[in-house]
Structure 1
């Protein structure tokens, strides 16, 4: 597989010297680490075969109706000998759940994968691939919209999704049953890799990002090159100057989490959005929206357009269209701000699917 060119740049048909190309150069940290994430997932060490990885990516791209991305993975897969095995079937069943109904991922689902021979490292990599292609699909669509390209499929608004309502976690802790800005804990369904089992260089990487004491990150650290590239992608999207205000990037993350039903991610990013915007009441109103209801109702005109776009881009398959972009431009978002909104939203197609498939949130003891 060649990474001489930027896959996203090619699929979104971004012309050199265009406003969008310039905006991606401003956000070069994100751009370069998206490329590194793809390379780590598809070229890096893993118990998953190349054929398994590409077959899963092709199917996930297809479910998102992203024809250019599907064609990209189909071309790569055609260079290999096709294989259909019960193991691949189990992986694709897991991918279907995680693509369309991530809130329905469960510990039992991970046990099914184990019964087909997947170990913890392979389950982490499999989940990363599904989540990454979910991100990639939305990023390509969003950039094509900014670029004025036509997009496939129906367009429209998306609504708040379902969420976990079990009152207890698998390890019998109190679990949140509604969205909240309260600080939550998270408990894994797979064992996190002990810090002492990482090499000194790997320990240094975890420590550099402040991840050494986190079960979530030490679990993702079972494929550390992917975790490192993903963490740097996150920082390149959210922790950069100019463009879309940081509060509105956090708003987009919260909206995506509402669509996907990720109570944990929403709690983190709702707090940040409320603090940075100094509008905690508006964020509380967003969190309170029930499944199947409009997420933008009662918000300011600018936030309404951003929420409606983020929700539509977060749907599966995405329904964001040209009308959303026109409304955003009318609210004063320039190309860099639009790029920030697309990347902030799309990234949580990735983040939510990892949080929801590998563990669950819990309420800290008072």
Structure 2
């Protein structure tokens, strides 16, 4: 079965790299389960799927990954996003709260994680996010940035 990582990397069952990924099926399955748990969790903690996908699209753009941007565009369109969520996904910064604070945090962690401090988490709380929402947001940020790096690496290996 083709998973989201295969799709993002442009792999098909005929590719040797596709088969190589299956040497560790627990990693393939784990990455897919993680993707589903951060984008469409059973309990979204008040961070709706359309917000999560809009943020994922934003991170894909920050990571200059057109394949994932296109995939997240399709997913977002299916979720009926508001204009604010579309602006968030496009990378705009003139947003209503708490989206503006969330966007700044996502951008910070995606582009310059080295300078992140505890005070940045405090800003999320001040914008109205509770602890479970901050954890869920952190998981989403971690996964999408992981996904873009793995997909890029697989594409490079495939082209070699």
Class of the TM-score when normalised by the shorter of the 2 chains = 0.7 to 0.9
CA shift digits 1:19-78 (9 cap, x unpaired): 111111101110110000001111111221112111111111101001001111111112
Report what 2:155 is aligned to.
144
TM-score by length of 1: 0.39
TM-score by length of 2: 0.85
CA shift digits 1:200-228 (9 cap, x unpaired): xxxxxxxxxxxxxxxxxxxxxxxxxxxxx
Q: Which runs of 5+ in 1 are unaligned?
A: 149-324, 326-366
Q: Distance in 1 between matches of 2:18 and 2:72?
A: 23
CA shift digits 1:55-111 (9 cap, x unpaired): 111111101001001111111112223242311111110011101111221221111
More helix by share: 2
Q: Distance in 1 between matches of 2:81 and 2:40?
A: 17
Q: Distance in 2 between matches of 1:133 and 1:54?
A: 10
Report what 2:31 is aligned to.
34
Q: Distance in 1 between matches of 2:137 and 2:98?
A: 12
Aligned-pair distance for 1:5? 4.4
Q: Distance in 2 between matches of 1:144 and 1:22?
A: 14
Q: Contact 2:101–2:123 at 8 Å: present in 1 too?
A: yes
| Structure 1 pair 117–5 and aligned structure 2 pair: CA distance change class (3 A) | farther
Q: How does 1:1-366 map to 2 (within 5 A)?
A: 5-44=2-41, 45-46=43-44, 47-79=46-78, 80-84=80-84, 85-148=96-159
CA shift digits 1:141-194 (9 cap, x unpaired): 11111111xxxxxxxxxxxxxxxxxxxxxxxxxxxxxxxxxxxxxxxxxxxxxx
Q: Distance in 2 between matches of 1:68 and 1:34?
A: 18
Higher radius of gyration, 1 or 2 = 1
Aligned length: 146
| Structure 1 pair 83–113 and aligned structure 2 pair: CA distance change class (3 A) | farther
**Which consecutive segments of 4 or more residues in structure 1 shift more than 4 A?**
none
Aligned-pair distance for 1:118? 0.4
